[in-house]
Structure 1
Amino acid sequence: MTERYPSPRALLDRYDLRAKKSWGQNFLGDEAILDDIARLAAPRPGETVLELGAGLGHLTARLVARGARVVAVERDRDMARVLRGELGERITLLEADAARLDLPELARRFGSGGKLSVVGNLPYHLTSPILFSLLDQAPHVLRAVFLLQREVAERLAAPPGSRDWGVLSVLLQREADVSVERIVRPGAFWPPPKVDSAVLCALFRPPADAVADPARFRRLVKAGFAQRRKTLRNALEAGKIADPEALRAALATTGVDPGRRGETLTLAEWAALDRALGPVAAES
């Protein structure tokens, strides 16, 4: 950057503000890490980047410096005031809830080819709602670069059969190539959180494995992981995904042992199970 952006503490003092613990506000001030995230989110000048929870604008300023067109989403009015004061007309500011965005509409207005890059430092309590919203609108996402709690990032990038492999691992990895790019220590933030964070990069592409019904596929995976001590057959029957006879037939067709646990199945096996269950009957 040609102009040094003020530190989080300096900006909070300038606007007579404090970080709101109830909002999960921990502001990243480490310039090298901010530059890395900006590079991942906007590898080329001219790209449109949707920043979720822009906060005090530290990452926002880096994105602008890289030549990105930044649409900054921030629902905290105090933070919006800082963003307007520090970055003004260099960004498009949306005072909105990051978990309830209409990505198709935003991609139409601001995106290139109907897609957007998404970036953000996600508070722990909003990570799942934002990720599920993103998955619902995956065709409009080009890439997502998120700063997350380390254990959450490692879970999302976990391989099948590992202790961390779970519902969001399966759903996200079906839509994107996922990697943990770097670990971020608490001292990089103000105020420092109590846990390590990590930079997660998800490069979206056509789904890796076809399914018969995406909504049922999600229910299927959720049921399989809902009670990890149950066998797959018992977990799926408890989740009422289909009648027991159809479930037994699908397991037999795919060759998946019903005595396995859900966390041992690969993405391809989950998708095969959904296909074997056939199309969902339309409601009359």
Structure 2
Amino acid sequence: MTIDSPGALLRRYGLQARHSWGQNFLIAAEVHAAIAIASEARPGRRVIEIGAGLGTLTDRLLATGAEVWAIERDRDLCAVLRAELGDRPNFVLHEADAVRFDYAAAIAGQAEPVAIVGNLPYQLTGPLLFALLEQAPHAGPWVVMVQKEVADRLCARPGEDDYGGVTAVLSRMRTIARVRNVPRGCFLPAPRVDSAVIRLDARPEPLGGPVADEAGLRHLVRTAFQQRRKVLINSLAALGSRAEAQAWCAAAGIDPGVRPEKLGPEQFAALQRAREASGAGAA
């Protein structure tokens, strides 16, 4: 790496981490390397980095020869990125909010699938993952740092305690695997929780087959898990009537007395198709 450590950069530019923005700068070079390797960054491939921060991961990605599009909303950090990395021909900085960034435009026209990486702020993990799911469902891989408890949930399987609605929705479109755990001491300042790097790869086809309305499917899953201790028919009744919920379960071949956490993406897709067939499938 040719860029200084986060601590040295903060001192040089007279900056401090913004706690209100969830800024914790990764200082472990071996984790930077693991992310770069997992992203398959290489010459000819575009990599979008969410939350470039002080540029330490950016520098590692640039060293692979990849074209790096760095997204950063903090004006002070953007000034650091321009000063430290602005002369690299394969570096493009976007001063923007990552949740509202136009990922669809960023991946359009690329010969290779665009990799997306980043240390996701804990409070924005869900919005960012769903923004990627909406705009870049076939991009990949996604290699992101999340809170360890979030990684546990995303890597869980149906029937396990950590399994939930977000996992059901994301795993329909992506395979999800843990790259490595990252202790809190790998950050400056150290957060109160540990983290993990996960990799999400696009599936050739959505798990469970196509549905007419993906937004409707997501709404169904959210509704099912709002009170996860309820049996399925009681949760689904919020989308119509109990009789309708019974009919959807019957059409999908699913026991209406099962709890939502027992169902995988395939079963939720079947339920959504049953709702659509009955004319009640829109979100």
TM-score by structure 2 length? 0.93
For the residue of structure 2 that corresponds to 1:19, the secondary structure is coil
Asked if the contact 1:46/1:68 (under 8 Å) is kept, the reply is yes
Unaligned runs of 5+ in 1: none
Residue in structure 1 matched with residue 80 of structure 2 by the alignment: 82
Alignment of 1:51 with 2:49, yes or no, is yes
Measure how far apart 1:43 and its partner are.
Answer: 4.2
Unaligned runs of 5+ in 2: none
1:141-185 CA deviation, whole Å, 9 max, x = no partner? Answer: 221100111000111111111111111101111111100110001
**How do residues 58-73 of structure 1 correspond to structure 2 at under 5 angstroms?**
58-73=56-71
| Aligned-partner residue type, residue 95 of structure 1 | E
Residue in structure 2 matched with residue 230 of structure 1 by the alignment: 230
Task: Report which stretch shifted further, 136-145 or 119-128.
Answer: 136-145
Structure 1 residues 58 and 220, CA gap change in structure 2 (3 angstroms): same
Residue in structure 2 matched with residue 190 of structure 1 by the alignment: 188
Asked if the contact 1:42/1:66 (under 8 Å) is kept, the reply is no
Residue in structure 2 matched with residue 27 of structure 1 by the alignment: 25
Measure how far apart 1:46 and its partner are.
Answer: 2.2
1:94-135 CA deviation, whole Å, 9 max, x = no partner? Answer: 0001011222211126x335x421100011111011011111
C-alpha separation in 1, matches of 2:226 and 2:68: 38
Measure how far apart 1:187 and its partner are.
Answer: 1.1
Residue in structure 1 matched with residue 201 of structure 2 by the alignment: 203
Asked if the contact 1:135/1:171 (under 8 Å) is kept, the reply is no
Measure how far apart 1:282 and its partner are.
Answer: 10
Asked if the contact 2:41/2:65 (under 8 Å) is kept, the reply is no
| Aligned-partner residue type, residue 176 of structure 2 | V
| Aligned-partner residue type, residue 29 of structure 2 | E
**How do residues 85-104 of structure 1 correspond to structure 2 at under 5 angstroms?**
85-90=83-88, 91-104=91-104
Residue in structure 2 matched with residue 112 of structure 1 by the alignment: 111
Measure how far apart 1:278 and its partner are.
Answer: 2.6
C-alpha separation in 1, matches of 2:275 and 2:87: 52
Measure how far apart 1:209 and its partner are.
Answer: 1.8
RMSD: 1.7
- Give the % identical residues: 48
Measure how far apart 1:194 and its partner are.
Answer: 1.0
C-alpha separation in 2, matches of 1:66 and 1:58: 13
1:181-235 CA deviation, whole Å, 9 max, x = no partner? Answer: 1000111111111111000100112312222421111011001100012111111
Measure how far apart 1:93 and its partner are.
Answer: 0.4
**How do residues 1-284 of structure 1 correspond to structure 2 at under 5 angstroms?**
1=1, 3=2, 5-90=3-88, 91-108=91-108, 111-112=110-111, 115-205=113-203, 206-210=205-209, 211-238=211-238, 240=239, 242-279=240-277, 280=279
For the residue of structure 2 that corresponds to 1:86, the secondary structure is helix
C-alpha separation in 2, matches of 1:74 and 1:270: 36
C-alpha separation in 2, matches of 1:68 and 1:43: 6
C-alpha separation in 2, matches of 1:105 and 1:77: 23
C-alpha separation in 2, matches of 1:209 and 1:50: 29
Asked if the contact 2:41/2:47 (under 8 Å) is kept, the reply is no
| Aligned-partner residue type, residue 166 of structure 2 | L
